[in-house]
A and B are shown apart, each in its own frame.
Chain A
Amino acid sequence: MFEAKLTEGLILKKIVESIKDIVTDVNIDISPSGISLQAMDSSHVALVSLNLSMDGFEHYRADTNMVLGVSIANLAKVMKLADNNDQITLQADQEATHLKIIFENPKTERTTEFNLNLITIDSEHLAIPETEYSSVVTINSGEFSKICKELFSLSETVQITTNTDYVQFSVEGEVGSGQVRLGHNDSEKKEDQTILEVSESVQQQFAIRYLNMFNKASTLSSFTRLCLHQEQPLVVEFKIDNLGVLKYFLAPKISD
């Protein structure tokens, strides 16, 4: 038996919106300590990893580990039934064939229920090695979204360079070439801060269209954390207050 109730259901709605363009069918792993999922995009360039702790739920019960195979596209359609102020409860029996999703609005007394059919997914679970990232950049999520969006209109690829003084996003395309450079900024206004933690400089190239898809999660968190290592995929991380973390991994491009 699994049951989890989230008071701020909007968070779950936003999570589904933030991953639906990247992954299609996903195994959701339920454990007594929380909910997690890991899935690659169809071209095996990016990987989504979500971890939600039971502590963030108003009520959480999972007697055993369970795997719930879900079509994210269909889950997104069901989530559209939810009002932004709804509480969301997820329920599944042992050996379940469907996931029951209940939306409740205590103010308007409206309740919506949907039984989403589960599917069997044969997906590969990848082992993500523990990595000591040599550059970690914490940046306002809205600002990072904007930078990626605008640069994508100029080039498909961005080169991210870090050093102890700044992080630089540079593009080169038919239109021309240029860069956005952000220095370390720990101003009093927290939302303006850009925090650089660089032990070793990194220079890598990435497909901007993936970054734009990841940035849908910017509504979940005021800050985006970029973790870089010269030999590893980029991690774009969004912390979800009191509940967990949504991470996207993106394999770098190599210059021709």
Chain B
Amino acid sequence: MSGQQSIMKFFGSK
């Protein structure tokens, strides 16, 4: 998907 960001970019690992 072009331009789709990942949720992991915003939420770091615990």
Residues on A lying within 8 angstroms of B by beta carbon are 40, 43-47, 124-129, 205, 207, 232-233, 249-256
Contacts and interface: CB of A to CB of B under 8 A. Distances in A.
Interface string B1-14: 11111111111111
Contact of B3 (A47, A250, A256): A256
Nearest 8 CB-CB pairings of A with B: A126-B11, A251-B5, A125-B14, A253-B3, A251-B7, A127-B14, A44-B6, A254-B3
A128 B4 contact: no
Contacts, number: 56
Contact of B5 (A47, A124, A127, A253): A253
Nearest to B2: A256
Contact of A233 (B10, B12, B14): B10
A256 to B, nearest CB: 5
Interface of B: 1-14
A107 B7 CA distance: 46
Contacts of B5: 45, 251-254
B13 A124 contact: yes
Contacts of A40: 7-8
A3 B2 CA distance: 45
Given A127-B12, A251-B4, 9 more contacts: A40-B7, A44-B6, A45-B1, A45-B4, A46-B7, A128-B11, A129-B11, A253-B1, A253-B4
A126 B3 contact: no
A145 B7 CA distance: 22
